[in-house]
Amino acid sequence: MTIVATPGAAGRSPMSEQRPAFELRDAFAEHGPSLLGFAVNALRDRGLAEDCVQETFLRAWRARERFDGDRGSVRTWLFAIIRRVVLDAHRSRARSPLLVPEHDAPESVHETDPLERIGIVDGLAQLSAPHRDAVVAIHVTGLSYQELSERTGVPVATLRTRVFYALRALRTALDEVDPTP
């Protein structure tokens, strides 16, 4: 199996003459979890992440007349928007340190260039759950394929191919220039 990224909701038939509409509730039901997954793992702050998702759908709703299904799927469009929203939130947070009780403080994140880290999280968020789970288990958590196989019941050979295609999809995602919404 080589298909990794989850397909968009409003794919348009090449023969269709009618632009696909942007339906906010449908889009949220289909893509909200992935968008929130990206925001939560990029920012490590659940409240801020939900605000980013809300901001993303607000911007999409306001720009819905300009959405062009010929240029990409709803999913691609929403990810392009939330990428900007999350980046702005990250920069804003970095500029405005707040004094908060220790137990309320957002978790610290790795000292890697935050933009680099957010880019990787973005790519992971767009993988299917089985591919993401496998690549995270092997290359983030550090499990061996045998250990992961014993935990999941999935054969080692299947896990290896999942990780291969996940890495390939990540490589492609990181090399793409995102479309302007």
Q: Which residues bind another protein (CB under 8 A)?
A: 2, 24-25, 28, 32-33, 36-37, 40-41, 46, 49-50, 53-55, 57-59, 61-62, 80, 83-85, 87-88, 109-110, 112-113, 115-122, 124, 129, 132-133, 135-136, 138-141, 144-145, 157, 160-161, 163-165, 167-168, 170-171, 173-178, 180
Inter-residue long-range contacts of 111-117, CB under 8 Å, 24+ positions, other chains counted: 114/90, 115/87, 117/42
Residue closer to another protein by CB (options 52, 69) is: 52
Q: How far is the CB of 68 from another protein (least distance, A)?
A: 19
CB atoms within 10 A of CB 117: 16
Residue closer to another protein by CB (options 16, 170) is: 170
Residue closer to another protein by CB (options 3, 174) is: 174
